[in-house]
Chain A
C-alpha cells in the first residue's frame, strides 16, 4: 500500500494550515526608522488612559507608540508578569508594582529590574515622600521603582445615616471624638443603637484591621526580614479590635471588592469605611446619587493602603525610552492631573504641595478638604517596614476575620487557622 496515494485532501489541508500557523509572522517592536513601541503592563486603574496621558505623550514624542495592557485584579496581574520578568527576552518595557509587592522586588528580584538611578532618577529623590522613595530602593541603594501614588487613609462616612442615628456629622467633631480606634468602635456602638435597618457601622472587619495596623512601623516583618506576624503586638491589637467590631455586630460582613460590597455603597449597608484617597473615585462610581450624602473625616490613626511604582525590567530592549516615559508619567504635573481627574493622591511631595492638591475640596463629599486631610496623613506616615509577602499575608488575615463575621468561627480558632494559613505561604 502506497502512503502517498490519495491522501485525504482534508488531511493535507490540515497540515498546510498547521504549517502556515507555524510561521512566526510577527512584527518587531522597533523598526529601523527609529520608531519605538513601548509595552506597558499595568493593573487596576492608574488613570493614565482616562486622563489622556498616553495620548499626550505620544503626541509629544511622535516616534514613540505606547501599547498598554491592564489586568483588572492585581492578584492576577502579578503572577502573570512573573514569567515575563523571568524570560530571556522581554515582553514588557514598563511594569507596575503595587506597594505590597515592592519589597519582593527590592529584596529578591533586584537582578531583574533596572536600577533607575543609572538612567538619571537619582535627582528625583527630594521630590518624594521619604518612606515612599525608600520602599522602592534596595538595601544597597538601587532604585527599582518610581512611585506613582499613595493611599493615605481617612474615614469616609455617610453623613445622612450618621444623622439618622443621632451621631454628630461634622468632620472635625467626629475626628475629635474618635481620637483612638477604641473610641471609633465606641462611636460604632452608639451608631448601632439607633441605626436604620440593615445598616452596619463599618463595611468589613478586615478593612478596619488593615487601617489600624497601618499606623505601625513594623507589621508582618521586622527590619531583618524575619516574619513576626505571630508575635507582633501591633498585629494582635489590630486583630483584637477588629474581632471586637465583628462580634458586636458593627460590620456589614461583606467582602471588599465583591459585587455585594459594590452594591452596598449605594444601599447604605454600611455607614463608614476606612478610606484611602483612591477610594474617593470608587465611591463616586458606585453611588452615583450619593453626592452630598458622603463626607470625609480624619481617622484615629495614620495609615496607608495602596500606592504603586513603575519599573523597567532588565530584559526590556528600550530602557532609555521607557525611563523617559515613566519619569514623565510620575512627574509632579502629571500627578496633579491624576489627582484632579481620579482622586489618586500624589506620591510626590512637590505635587502634593501644589494648591490644586493641597487646597482641593470635593463637592460630592460636601466640599470636604480632601487635599488637606490626605496630605496631613501622608506627611505623618511612618517609614514602614515592608516584607515580600505583605499582600498575601493581609489577604489571609482578612479571611480569618471574615470567617468570624460570616461563619461564626470562634476568634481563637480563627486566629489558629490564620496562623496556619500564613505559615503555609511563608514556608
Chain B
C-alpha cells in the first residue's frame, strides 16, 4: 500500500467491531512542537488584547486614554472609575440580573435543544425532515425581524422591564438543536439505544440514562456558548428593559452619560461586567475541556 485509501475505507476499518473496542478512542496523541506553541501564544495575545485594553482604559482617566500615544499599562484609577460607575447605575443588580437571565437561558436552551436534537438525530417520526427543515429555517430569521411585534406583545403582557421579557424569546435556538443533533448523530451509537429499548426502558428513561451522559460534553459547550451570547446580547434587552431592571449591556449603555462621554467609566463598567464571564470560564474551563476529553474516553 502506498498511501491511505479513501477515507471511507479507513473509517470502515475503525468501526468494524464496536463491541471489542471502546467507542470513543483517545484523542490524538501527537505532541505539540515549539512552532505550535509560538502560534498559539500569538493567537492568545491577539484574542486577549481588546480585553486588556478594556482593563487599561478602566484603570486610567479619560484624558489619559485620549492622549497620543495611549498608555500601554494599567493605571491606578480602577476603583475611582468603578465608584463613578456605581454612582450612575447599580452594576451589582445588573450583574445579578444578567446571571439570572443568561443562566436561565443557557439551562433552558440546552435542555430544549438536547431533547429536540436527540429526537431529530435518533428517533423516527412522521414529518421529521419537514420539522427539522423548519427548525433550520428559524435560524435564518434576522433578529430584528420580529422585534417590533415582540415588543408590542411584551407591552400587552405587561412584561416590559421584567426579566422574563428577555428570557423567553431567547430560549429558542435552532442553532442549539442543529448542534446537538449533529453531535448525537456522530456520538451516540444506535446499539446503545437499541439495548436500552430492548431492555424495556421508555424513551425518556433511555434519554436520561444513555443519551444525557454521552451528550454531556456537547451540552457543556453549548451551554457555555449560549450563556456568553445571552450575556452579550444588547439589541433586544435595550428595547425590553430600562435602567430600573437592567442586564449588564443595558446598564453599560446608560453609563458614562454626560456631555462628555466618560470612556474610562464606561470601560470600567465593561470590565467589571466581563469579569464574571471570565470567572465562569476560568472555573468551568477545566470542566468543559475535561468533559470533552471524558466523552472521548468513555466506553
Contact = CB atoms under 8 A, between A and B. Distances in A.
A-B complex is real: yes
Interface of A: 1-2, 5-8, 10-11, 13-14, 17-18, 21-22, 24-26, 39, 41, 44-45, 47, 49-50, 67-72, 76, 80, 83, 87-89, 91, 262-263, 266-267, 278, 281-282, 284-286, 288-289, 342
Given A91-B155, A278-B259, 5 more contacts: A8-B208, A13-B111, A18-B171, A67-B242, A68-B243
Closest 3 CB pairs of A and B: A285-B260, A69-B243, A288-B63
B259 A44 contact: yes
B162 A24 contact: yes
7 contacts: A6-B204, A18-B171, A71-B254, A72-B261, A80-B239, A83-B152, A282-B260
A89 B155 CA distance: 8
Contacts of B253: 71-72
Nearest to B151: A83
Contact of A18 (B108, B156, B203): B108
Nearest to A5: B202
A163 B231 CA distance: 52
A6 B164 CA distance: 29
A266 B67 contact: yes
A167 to B, nearest CB: 25
Given A2-B202, A285-B260, A14 B66 contact: no
B162 A10 contact: no
A15 to B, nearest CB: 9
A14 B204 contact: no
Given A24-B164, A87-B155, A11 B115 contact: yes
Contacts of A44: 257, 259
Majority secondary structure, B binding face: helix
Nearest to A7: B204
B261 A6 contact: no
Chain B's interface size range is 35 or more
B107 A14 contact: yes
B152 A342 contact: no
Contacts of A267: 68
B254 A69 contact: yes
A24 B165 CA distance: 10
A197 to B, nearest CB: 14
Contact of A285 (B62, B151, B163, B242): B62
Interface in B243-272: 243-244, 253-254, 256-261
B238 A80 contact: yes
Nearest to B115: A11
Contact of B157 (A24, A39, A71): A24
B207 A69 contact: no
Contact of B108 (A1, A17, A80): A17
Contact of A70 (B157, B208, B257): B257
A27 to B, nearest CB: 10
B168 interface: yes
Interface string B48-65: 000000000000001100
Contact of B259 (A1, A39, A68, A282): A282
B155 A83 contact: yes
Contacts of B168: 18, 21-22
Contacts of A10: 111, 208, 212
Interface in B102-127: 104, 107-108, 111-112, 115
A45 B67 CA distance: 24
B162 A26 contact: yes
B111 A22 contact: no
A39 B254 CA distance: 15
A289 B112 CA distance: 57
A286 B260 contact: yes
Given A1-B203, A14-B107, A288-B63, A281 B260 contact: yes
Interface in B131-175: 148, 151-152, 155-164, 167-168, 171
Contact of A262 (B66, B151, B171): B66
B205 interface: yes
A410 to B, nearest CB: 33
Nearest to A23: B164
Nearest to A287: B63
Given A2-B202, A6-B204, A39-B242, A21 B261 contact: no
B158 A26 contact: yes
A286 B124 CA distance: 65
A85 to B, nearest CB: 11
A21 B257 contact: no
A21 B62 CA distance: 40
Contacts of B115: 11
A285 B243 CA distance: 25
B161 A91 contact: yes
Contacts of B167: 21
A342 B202 CA distance: 71
Nearest to B87: A49
B244 A67 contact: yes
A17 B104 contact: yes
A96 to B, nearest CB: 13
Nearest to A283: B260
Most chain B beta-carbon contacts within 10 A, residue among A22, A26, A49, A281: A26
Contacts of A45: 257-259
Contacts of A21: 104, 163-164, 167-168
Contacts of A88: 155-156
A8 B151 CA distance: 34
A274 to B, nearest CB: 16
Most chain A beta-carbon contacts within 10 A, residue among B68, B171, B259: B259
Contact of B242 (A76, A83, A91, A289): A91
Interface string B181-216: 000000000000000000000111101100010000
B94 to A, nearest CB: 13
Contacts of B256: 72
Nearest to A263: B66
A259 to B, nearest CB: 8
A406 B238 CA distance: 33
B239 A24 contact: no
B112 A83 contact: no
B156 to A, nearest CB: 8
Contacts of A91: 155, 160-161, 242
A64 to B, nearest CB: 16
Contact of A263 (B68, B202, B204, B238): B68
A333 to B, nearest CB: 21
A294 to B, nearest CB: 15
Given A21-B167, A72-B253, A83 B239 contact: yes
